[in-house]
Structure 1
Amino acid sequence: MELLLSSFDILARWDVLLALLAGSVGGVLIGAIPGVGPAVAIAILLPATFSMDPIVGLTVLLGIYGSSMYGGSIPAILINTPGTAVNALTTYDGYPMTTRGEARRALSLAYSSSFFGGIFSVVCLILFAPVLAKIAPMFGSREIFLAALLGLLLVVVAHRGQALIAAALACFGIFLNTVGLEPVKYSKRFTFDQSFLSGGVDLIVVVLGLFALSQAFFLLQGEDEKVRMTKLRGGMFQGFRELVRHPRVAGISGTFGVLMGMIPGVGEFTAQFLSYTYAQRTSKRPQDFGHGSSEGLIAAETANNAVPAAAMVPLLALGIPGEALTAMMLSVFYVHNVVPGPQLFQNQMDFVVALYLALLVLNVLVLIFLLFATNHLIKVVKIPNRFLGVCILVLSFVGVYSLRNSVTDCLIAACFGIFGFVLKRLSLPAVPIILGMVLGGIMEVKLRAGMARVKTPFDFIDRPVAMILFLMILGVLFIHFRHLWLERKKTKEAKWSTKHASTNFGMHLLRRKDYLLKERGRKVREKHLKYNPRSTDKR
């Protein structure tokens, strides 16, 4: 009880509540605009949050992170265009409802499911916080290094079909982190006698370039689309009654969201896929999925909104981000000398609980805002893409320049913006670069600290937690390479079948002809014996 009161005291400040309100409403607006997304907004706002208190800056970013998925469901349902990438599955059943004239029902159900998923995950993690506080002290330098390595490995493996390029981009991110002065002896690395590289490549500059500027270039090179909106009539409270009729789907989807959110590199997509698949397989009407199923919409929206709170667990407990958005939030901690990890859970547990309570209040504020403002909010979908591109471009360069008042940073950001644009056009991921930069720094520092007491390779994993993490790394590698081997085997079999299809067909015809001839001979002999029973002809 004392912990909760202390957390409420941190949260009950006018600037924190104002930041929470601004972040939640702003996140909904950003999510409702196709082509922007929370990553762009957080990247632009990062420089501004550095001058705020840690709790205020993080509350703004958490508000955008947690509420953007609410807003992303609006264009997904109304115009079949997801506002954020994680709302893609919402279009499967949301838009068919709109075509049937049930847009209000679909939006209400999406809001209700998102609210349940958000509240469910926060409550689970508040109850789980004391357990984390006991586990966190077991993580030393070696354990955190192995956990960071596992997180980076999971991020790479999560990019199915692109694991090799994701690994290369993650290594590129690790290399970027090594540029400048190394953290122990402060010797220069990869500066090539250029003074502007002595301070290293700033994470925020890279983030703004890869996410914000690249998205601006992408929007500017496209064409504006004319959007026809569906008028909404009636109240927005119908979804709560419908959600109550499917408690099993909502509960299981929320659980998938919490579990997948805590695993670095997995996130919303896997949680949605598992939830949607489970709901379809256990539904009494599986044929409705993809054609306007309320269960499908509940599964997708509950799962994706249960992830943000859970994704804060590895960030706060170990200082290891699982995706680009939490990696950006980590920089806010570092600027204010608040180091996430075991010490945070031991010494500032009230701060951790305050963040979770902020997520709890956030979901309530967003739901109230959406229930009464949706009819006005849908107008933001009509904003032209090129106008958005120009706005993002200007705000991004302003944010980069405000970091160190450096034109060089603007040029570096522009280079990464072009690089990010190329990655988008090639459908390649940019997230591994950011996580490589963040986790690479953690891994280097923890490896150097951990190696001080290591004499043999086995000493590195001689503690229980370290051994478990090491076995998990081996397990992930085994599963991944086994999957690659099975895929390669199937590909070879498919190629062989295609190559020998004509030969196989010819052999089949020959066997069929031989069989027919034998059958014909047998019938002739049976007929002969029928009319000549005394015959001994064995032809």
Structure 2
Amino acid sequence: MEILFAAMEVLARWDVALALIAGSIGGVAIGAIPGVGPAVAIAILLPATFSMDPIVGLTVLLGIYGSSMYGGAIPAILINTPGTAVNALTTYDGYPMTLRGEARRALSLAYSSSFFGGVFSVVCLILLSPVLAKVAPMFGSREIFLAALLGVILVIVAHRGQMLIAAALTGFGIFLSTVGLEPVKYSRRFTFEQSWLASGVDLIVVVLGLFALSQAFVLLTMDDEKVHIAKSRGSLFQGFRELARHPRVAAVSAGFGVLMGMIPGVGEFTAQFMSYTSARKLSKTPQAFGRGSSEGLIASETANNAVPAAAMIPLLALGIPGEALTAMMLSVFYVHNVVPGPGLFQFQMDFVVALYLALLILNVLVVGFLLVSTGWLVYLTKIPNRFLGMCILLLSFVGVYSIRNSAVDCGVAAVFGLIGFVLKRLNLPIVPIVLGMVLGGIMEVKLRASMNRVKTPLDFIDRPIALLLFCVIVVVLGSTLWRVWREWTPVDRRSNAKKASVHFTKRIAGRKTRHFETRTKKQRRKRSYDHLGS
């Protein structure tokens, strides 16, 4: 109880309360604008949070992270354009409802489902806190290294169909983390006698370039489209009653969101598709999915809003981010010398509980704000793309320059902006670069620290958690290689091989039959000759 009261006292500060309100409302507005998204907004605001207290800065970023998906459902439902990337599945059933004149019902369902998923994941996070507080101290350097290695592998495996390019981009991110002074002997690596590379490639500069500047370039090259918003009828409160009629869909989808959020490198997309698929299989009317099904809308919105709180679990317990947004938040911890990991649960539990309560309050604030302001937020979808692009471009360069007052950082950010622009044009992933930079640094430091106690390779996995993580890595790699091999030898190729073997068998059998018939004819002829001879 003392920890709970201490956490509530932290949240009662006026600056924390203001940051929570600004982050939640700002996140909804950012999510409602197609083409921006939380990654761009967090990347732009990141330099400004370095001058704040850690709880204030993280509250702003968490507000944007958790509430942007609420706002992203508005354009997805009304104009068939997802406000954020993770709201893409919402268009499957949300927009058909709009075409039927049920836009308010769809919006209400999206809000209530998002609220249930967000609260469910926060409750799970609070219930898991005692377990994390006991398990986290068992993680030493070896365990954290293996967990980071597992995170790298899962990041690559999660990009199914693009695993080779994801592995290459992750390796590029790990390489970027090695540039500059190495952490033990402070010798220079890959600086090429350039003094500005001695301090390394700054993570925030890379993030701003890959996410904010690249998105600005994309918006500047797009044509402005006229947006027509259909009229709707109904009440924004009816979705809560309708959600209560589908408790199984909501609970299963929230469970998928929590589980996928806890696994580094997986995220909202996998949670959404798994929950959507399971909801369709369990539904009595699966044919309605994709045509305005309320169950489909509940499944997609519940799952993606259950991920943010769950994604904080590996970040807080092990210091390992599961995606790009939590990797950005990790930099706020490091700037203020707050080290996520086992020590955070032992010595700063009030800080952790304050973050949990902030996430809980965030969902209440967002739903209340949406129920009274949806009619005004709709007009944000009409902002021209090129105007948005210019605003993002200007704010991004101001943010980059404010980090170290360096024009070189602006040039580096511009280079990574072009790299991100090319990757987006080619539909290639950007997240592996950022996670490679973060996890690469963690892996190097923990590997060097653990090697002092390791004599043989088996000593590296001589503890239960290390052995468990090693087994998980082996299972993931083995199952992935098996799946790749099965995909590399598709069914039609295997069936062709089977047909070829059957054809070959028939040919052999045919030869044997003809040989038998020929031999039989010779024997008959010989018998006839013998008969004539006799």
Bin of the TM-score, shorter chain as denominator length: over 0.9
1:260/1:266 contact within 8 Å kept? yes
Residue pairs, 1:95-494, within 5 angstroms:
95-490=95-490, 493=493
| Greater mean alpha carbon deviation, residues 275-284 or residues 443-452 | 275-284
CA distance in 1, matches of 2:271, 2:330: 23
1:79/1:227 contact within 8 Å kept? yes
2:150/2:473 contact within 8 Å kept? yes
SS of alignment partner, residue 345 of structure 2: helix
Cα deviation, residue 231, structure 1:
3.1
Cα deviation, residue 492, structure 1:
6.2
Gap regions ≥5 residues in structure 1: 512-539
Cα deviation, residue 267, structure 1:
1.0
Cα deviation, residue 496, structure 1:
4.3
The question of 1:43 aligning with 2:78 is answered: no
SS of alignment partner, residue 69 of structure 1: helix
CA distance in 2, matches of 1:11, 1:47: 23
* Superimposed CA distance per residue, residues 305-348 of structure 1 (whole angstroms, 9 cap, x where no aligned partner): 00000000000000000100000000000000000000101111
SS of alignment partner, residue 225 of structure 1: coil
Equivalent position amino acid for 1:490 in 2: P
CA distance in 2, matches of 1:202, 1:274: 36
2:93/2:296 contact within 8 Å kept? yes
CA distance in 2, matches of 1:498, 1:366: 59
* Superimposed CA distance per residue, residues 474-532 of structure 1 (whole angstroms, 9 cap, x where no aligned partner): 011001000001101116617948999xx99xx9xxx9xxxxxxxxxxxxxxxxxxxxx
Gap regions ≥5 residues in structure 2: 511-534
* Superimposed CA distance per residue, residues 8-47 of structure 1 (whole angstroms, 9 cap, x where no aligned partner): 1111111001001000011001111111110000000000
Cα deviation, residue 232, structure 1:
4.0
CA distance in 2, matches of 1:377, 1:269: 25
2:34/2:82 contact within 8 Å kept? yes
Equivalent position amino acid for 1:407 in 2: A
1:105/1:236 contact within 8 Å kept? yes
CA distance in 2, matches of 1:497, 1:414: 52
Taking a change above 3 Å as real, the CA distance of residues 109 and 498 of structure 1, as seen in their structure-2 partners, is farther
CA distance in 2, matches of 1:492, 1:188: 53
Q: What TM-score, normalized to structure 1?
A: 0.92
1:76/1:83 contact within 8 Å kept? yes
Q: What TM-score, normalized to structure 2?
A: 0.92
CA distance in 2, matches of 1:150, 1:9: 37
Equivalent position amino acid for 1:319 in 2: G
* Superimposed CA distance per residue, residues 124-183 of structure 1 (whole angstroms, 9 cap, x where no aligned partner): 110110111000011000000000000111011000011111011011001101111011
RMSD (CA atoms) = 1.6
CA distance in 1, matches of 2:173, 2:41: 22
CA distance in 1, matches of 2:448, 2:488: 39
CA distance in 1, matches of 2:384, 2:114: 28
SS of alignment partner, residue 92 of structure 1: helix
Taking a change above 3 Å as real, the CA distance of residues 404 and 488 of structure 1, as seen in their structure-2 partners, is same
SS of alignment partner, residue 183 of structure 1: coil
Residue pairs, 1:69-88, within 5 angstroms:
69-88=69-88
Equivalent position amino acid for 2:222 in 1: G
Cα deviation, residue 235, structure 1:
2.9
Cα deviation, residue 104, structure 1:
0.4
Cα deviation, residue 274, structure 1:
1.2
What corresponds to 1:526 in structure 2?
Answer: none
SS of alignment partner, residue 186 of structure 2: coil
* Superimposed CA distance per residue, residues 36-90 of structure 1 (whole angstroms, 9 cap, x where no aligned partner): 1100000000000000000000000000000000000001000111111110110
2:103/2:233 contact within 8 Å kept? no
Cα deviation, residue 197, structure 1:
0.4
Taking a change above 3 Å as real, the CA distance of residues 495 and 204 of structure 1, as seen in their structure-2 partners, is farther
CA distance in 2, matches of 1:279, 1:269: 15
SS of alignment partner, residue 34 of structure 2: coil
1:86/1:268 contact within 8 Å kept? yes
SS of alignment partner, residue 489 of structure 2: helix
1:232/1:375 contact within 8 Å kept? no
CA distance in 2, matches of 1:497, 1:186: 58
SS of alignment partner, residue 297 of structure 2: helix
Taking a change above 3 Å as real, the CA distance of residues 499 and 216 of structure 1, as seen in their structure-2 partners, is farther
* Superimposed CA distance per residue, residues 408-453 of structure 1 (whole angstroms, 9 cap, x where no aligned partner): 0000000000010000011110100000100000000000000000
* Superimposed CA distance per residue, residues 101-137 of structure 1 (whole angstroms, 9 cap, x where no aligned partner): 0000000000000000000110111011011100001
Cα deviation, residue 230, structure 1:
2.0
Cα deviation, residue 233, structure 1:
4.3
2:460/2:466 contact within 8 Å kept? yes
CA distance in 1, matches of 2:321, 2:488: 32
CA distance in 1, matches of 2:417, 2:493: 42
CA distance in 2, matches of 1:234, 1:25: 24
Equivalent position amino acid for 2:171 in 1: C
1:23/1:59 contact within 8 Å kept? yes
CA distance in 2, matches of 1:230, 1:207: 37
CA distance in 2, matches of 1:491, 1:47: 52
Cα deviation, residue 2, structure 1:
1.7
2:110/2:301 contact within 8 Å kept? yes
Residue pairs, 1:522-537, within 5 angstroms:
none
Equivalent position amino acid for 1:223 in 2: D
2:98/2:232 contact within 8 Å kept? no
CA distance in 2, matches of 1:404, 1:90: 41
